[in-house]
A and B are shown apart, each in its own frame.
Chain A
């Protein structure tokens, strides 16, 4: 289930948490790319069409999660890469806006490592499905 993943979050703490999760046996051998704001994340996203999944924080400086998604949709960039929006206590309204802007999934803080792994599993089944019709 390994591959390349992108984490976009302005919290160093969260990057370390993702590292801990991606070091686990199910995901061992994965490459993790790190970006600390939406703009940095977008540049990495553009440069890596092979990404298996993106974890995108909602509240960030420079470019927030929704702006990231809206720009990606407008440019039609790498629409095959699933982007998971990560939020603290979002309202149904937020979720709706996120999904409309093209988020593939939602992860609500606090989440357990297993929840993220389950999302990665789902995403990789999806990509197998897409690449081997």
Chain B
């Protein structure tokens, strides 16, 4: 049965909301178990819930008709059962379990976008079957060993997949505690009362002319205050614990370290710290970058570490703390640290020389975030820092946050990300005019129309178009936004306005819609016509957010210059 006609197809989002935390919990537990078994520590508490959790995932997947996930969960249950006795050759099975648990979490996460095929985990299941068969019959440790180089290659491939899913595996369902909803309703009640007060004040004014202007003012202020509170309460429902993004990293770090032949432990603290859903959705990628850099470039090999008198096993710490309206995230490693001289040399070579002759260490480290500075072939072999710190910095800036780095050569490196607790977001249609991109609030878009030859007319220097039986004025995006007008724009965005006529805005291309983080314009800029605010796009480019109201309400003179 295909998912579309499955009786419970409508519940896919709920399935992911329920099963993803379970699958991530399993993935985290098995990594910790692997370590515990190796070190010989007591793993009873870690192991106990595993079977039940896998069983629940299997049952839920089965009900949803997600055969691939059901089979995978089932096989992991079998594998888990086989690993409980401490037999020789268990290490290979444990590695398989860790990979399988990771695969399960990835597949559940991907289900939010598209349910996986029934045979999605077939190759992995074959491996499990082969392992179980070998376990049951004569033990063939030699065979497992022969296979291990291949396995390492697979481990790396999977690691890459984690990053990809981390980037777009956005959370689409939020669970809200009922107390928060109660608080919201209560504030809403206050809004109603404030509105009643305002209505009374207005009525009084109407009755006896002159009335008491102070009363009206007071009522208005009261309403303002309560609405602000309501906004605050609503924003709080968007807060999610940061552990939703942290949980995938235990496995990422483990897999990366295995691939590099290093020993790394990831310690996580402050997972309960809450952050806006939008911030959390966009935090995965920069954190994957930082952790990957730390494991691959920051951490030394076990031999190197021992030679320097450090423990062979390195530690990376991921920590979140809330400080008033900001959350500070730190990624700390105890690796080789940054080399300030190498960074300074490279910066000078690129023409980013600091203003004065003897810059402080902090000033030098700040240079590491410049584009082109932290590429693999330049700084990394000297200082242990890899690709794309400028990418990390720009994605954090896009969330109205900032990044800093501190480092002690030979001792380690700490990246600190300061992030706002909440951000204002807007769903917007991205359009292209000339070489610029603009965001049009989606709520203001009535329709988008492909411009056909002869569709546009010029009436007394004003561009016009017939749209759904209505003649609407049309403006050229280039002229409106300060670029050059063009006679040949391909698309028209029809903007709606309250009670007024619609207006058309000619643009070159429609780039799709997305949630953008609204950033206020610096008051020093004044208020550019037709622009309400700005946003930073995923690629680091700035896009202006159009003030559709001002476009539609006839602020504009510029006449669409149209080719006949």
Contact = CB atoms under 8 A, between A and B. Distances in A.
Interface of A: 11-14, 16-17, 20-21, 59, 88-89, 109-113
Nearest to B11: A16
A13 B60 contact: yes
7 contacts: A11-B56, A11-B60, A17-B63, A59-B56, A88-B55, A109-B62, A110-B65
Contacts of A13: 11, 14-15, 18-19, 60, 63-64
Contact of B14 (A16, A109, A111): A16
Contact of A20 (B10, B19, B60): B10
A88 B11 contact: no
B56 A109 contact: no
B534 to A, nearest CB: 40
A89 B60 CA distance: 12
Q: How large is the interface on B (under 10, 10 to 19, 20 to 34, 35 or more residues)?
A: 20 to 34
Contacts of B64: 13
Contacts of B70: 110
Please name the 5 residue pairs, one residue from A and one from B, whose CB atoms are nearest each other, closest first.
A88-B59, A110-B62, A13-B18, A109-B59, A110-B63
Nearest to A17: B8
Nearest to B16: A13
A127 to B, nearest CB: 26
B7 interface: yes
B109 interface: no
Contacts of B56: 11, 59
Contacts of B7: 20-21, 112-113
B351 to A, nearest CB: 58
Contacts of A12: 14, 17-18
A20 B63 contact: no
Given A11-B18, A88-B58, 20 more contacts: A12-B14, A12-B17, A12-B18, A13-B14, A13-B63, A16-B14, A17-B8, A17-B63, A20-B7, A20-B8, A20-B10, A21-B7, A59-B52, A59-B55, A59-B56, A88-B55, A88-B59, A110-B59, A110-B70, A113-B7
A114 B60 CA distance: 18
Interface in B48-85: 52, 55-56, 58-60, 62-65, 70
A27 B534 CA distance: 53
Interface string B4-35: 00011011001101110000000000000000
B52 A14 contact: no
Contacts of B8: 17, 20
Chain B CB within 10 Å — which of A11, A13, A88 has the most? A13
B393 to A, nearest CB: 40
A11 B21 CA distance: 13
Contacts of B59: 88, 109-110
Contacts of B63: 13-14, 17, 109-111
B55 A20 contact: no
A7 B116 CA distance: 29
A89 B15 CA distance: 19
Nearest to A88: B59
Contacts of A11: 18, 56, 60
A110 B63 CA distance: 5
Contacts of B19: 13
A48 B63 CA distance: 28
A88 B59 CA distance: 6
A117 B461 CA distance: 69
Contacts of A109: 59, 62-63
A20 B15 CA distance: 14
A112 B62 CA distance: 11
Contacts of B11: 13, 16-17, 20
A33 B454 CA distance: 62
Nearest to B61: A110
Contacts of B52: 59
A17 B59 CA distance: 13
A56 B318 CA distance: 42
A39 B10 CA distance: 30
A80 to B, nearest CB: 29
B417 to A, nearest CB: 33
A89 to B, nearest CB: 8
A90 B60 CA distance: 15
Nearest to A110: B62
A16 B7 CA distance: 12
B58 to A, nearest CB: 6
A21 B11 CA distance: 12
Question: Which of B8, B17, B64 lies at the interface centre, i.e. has the most chain A CB atoms within 10 A of its CB?
Answer: B8
Contacts of B14: 12-13, 16
A68 to B, nearest CB: 17
- Among A12, A59, A110: residue with most chain B CB under 10 A: A110
A23 to B, nearest CB: 11
A108 to B, nearest CB: 10
